[in-house]
Structure 1
């Protein structure tokens, strides 16, 4: 616990989360002092379960070479 009151307006901070940050939720919204958003880890969309990718053999004819 670092600060029992908001460092911007001086109001009492009731939550441990806001006490650790030292600023209240209202002042955080006003000043833009927010934690960065959590971005989920992307999953590869080119993989389909049950399908295997075939290796490309050197000089193998493809549709583009015909």
Structure 2
């Protein structure tokens, strides 16, 4: 899916954050090789999970400057 999105001219500028349970180096490398913008391993603890989601939201919606639509 990631590869298809990044090859589509209408979608390729959409930031993609991979949120997964995998800590495998090969998964991390594959994700970045397919041009994901971030790779985050989900915390097991619910409160930590909420903090991670909030930090993703804050970063992508308030901190970074994205290309115009």
Does the alignment reach a TM-score above 0.5?
no
- Shorter-chain TM-score range: under 0.3
Q: Taking CA–CA contacts closer than 8 Å with sequence separation of 6 or more, which of the two structures ends up with the larger relative contact order? A: 2
The structure in which a higher percent of residues are helix is: 2
TM-score, normalised relative to structure 2? 0.21
The structure in which a higher percent of residues are strand is: 2
TM-score, normalised relative to structure 1? 0.21
